[in-house]
Chain A
Amino acid sequence: AQKITQTQPGMFVQEKEAVTLDCTYDTSDQSYGLFWYKQPSSGEMIFLIYQGSYDEQNATEGRYSLNFQKARKSANLVISASQLGDSAMYFCAMRVSGGSYIPTFGRGTSLIVHP
């Protein structure tokens, strides 16, 4: 069975600063994908970034980067130059590539960006 752990219920960051949101995962599968989603108060889950287990480079998408440390089974999200609009819930998720495609989500981290 797969498991995602997000240990930070809430994080605060000052506008324009960088912030790291932690995510660790557990799986016995060798082929898997890791995702980060943003969920603002409106409720919609917005895809941010994806990292495949065989990708050698850390994924980057604009201000978002994923610090992938395979040996430590961690996939932390780094947001550079935080903006007020980044205030939201952030979810880490995983899906293994073989067998069932049931995705597993963490419990989320609430990020508040203050001026």
Chain B
Amino acid sequence: EAGVVQSPRYKIIEKKQPVAFWCNPISGHNTLYWYRQNLGQGPELLIRYENEEAVDDSQLPKDRFSAERLKGVDSTLKIQPAELGDSAVYLCASSPRDGQGTQYFGPGTRLLVL
């Protein structure tokens, strides 16, 4: 069974530029999570999807961050414009349904904003 797929693995951009991350969850997993992990910290949830519906997006900085999961499968997280403080690892995870069960994580995207 394929795991959670994320791309790109690494991204370096200049501040004020836009950036997008893509995630494909494990087949059949209805719940998808986006996390941000700053250096030396644990992951912090940005947004959780149940199928195509976004729930638990209270920690998503909506002025510059947006996310979508149009068909309830893969998802895109966008930052526009990026700031220096956005440098972090962006992790995607999925779980079978309804926010229950174990989350399985992808390899993450390491973002560096210069």
Residues of A near any B CB (own CB < 8 A):
4, 35, 37, 42-47, 50, 91, 93, 95, 97, 100-103, 105-108
A35 vs B102: C-alpha distance in the bound complex, in angstroms? 8
Q: Closest 7 CB pairs between A and B?
A: A105-B42, A101-B99, A45-B105, A43-B108, A44-B107, A47-B102, A91-B42
| Interface residue tally for chain B (C-beta within 8 Å) | 23
A52 vs B57: C-alpha distance in the bound complex, in angstroms? 25
With contacts defined as CB atoms under 8 Å apart, how many contacts are there between chain A and chain B in the complex?
Answer: 50
A106 vs B43: C-alpha distance in the bound complex, in angstroms? 8
B56 x A102 contact (CB < 8 A)? yes
A103 x B45 contact (CB < 8 A)? yes
Question: Inside 8 A of A46's CB, which chain B residues have their CB?
Answer: 105
Instruction: Name 9 A/B residue pairs within 8 A (Cβ), A-sorted.
Output: A43-B89, A43-B108, A43-B110, A44-B106, A45-B91, A91-B42, A91-B43, A102-B59, A105-B43
Smallest beta-carbon distance A43→chain B, Å: 5
